[in-house]
Amino acid sequence: MSTFSSLHYHITFSTKLRVRTIDPTWQEDLHQYIGGIIKVQGGFPECIGGVEDHVHLLLGLKPTHRISDVMREIKKSSSKWVHETIGLPAFQWQEGFAVFTVSPTARTAVQEYIKNQRQHHHRKTFREELVQLLEKAGIQYDPKYLQ
């Protein structure tokens, strides 16, 4: 018998010190580049969005993928792209990320959430959003790591 899976993840990560570095003029290009990184690794980018200080991903992965390896490659390769293509040699991602599993039935809602990041962040900061996501998922955290 073959292996069948439906593994979907909502992942969010921010720029170093949450500096609003991602300019809207090249943000879509960055998101497309990240989607390409995911595809090269054998994953399935389902939705990518964000604002100037962070990115949200909805992606599907195979059971053989390790999320930490996928994220390491996304951050490394996209940082290099920003340095070389956009010309921002100081650009960096914050260490770490938040990851949440997503059931197949919730994928559409998560996609809409990711697509509406610009409107969403007129009302709350990334830190406030992250705290809400962590608490909703029942994840305990130390506030010192949310700086």
User: Over the stretch 60-78, which tens digit does the pLDDT of each residue have?
Assistant: 999 999 999 999 999 999 9
Give the distance from CA 21 to its chain's centroid: 15
% of the chain with per-residue pLDDT over 70: 99
Q: How far apart are CA 139 and CA 147, in angstroms?
A: 17
1 pLDDT more than 80:
no
- Model confidence pLDDT, tens digit, residues 100-117: 999 999 999 999 999 999
The model's pTM is: 0.92
The residue with tokens 């990320």 is: 97
pLDDT of residue 129: 92
Q: What residues does each domain of the chain span?
A: 7-146
Q: How far apart are CA 115 and CA 121, in angstroms?
A: 12
% of the chain with per-residue pLDDT over 90: 86
Regarding the domain delimited by 7-146, which CATH topology (the fold level of the hierarchy) does it fall under?
A: Alpha-Beta Plaits (3.30.70)
Q: How far apart are CA 26 and CA 131, in angstroms?
A: 28
Note whether 102 and 8 are within 8 A (CB).
Answer: yes
pLDDT of residue 36: 98
Q: How far apart are CA 115 and CA 38, in angstroms?
A: 18
Q: Binning pLDDT at 50, 70 and 90, where does residue 120 land?
A: confident
What is the pLDDT averaged over residues 18-35? 97
- Exposure string (b/e) for 2-36, b if CB count within 10 Å is 16 or more? eeeeebbbbbbbbbeebeebbeeeebeebbebbbe
pLDDT of residue 118: 87
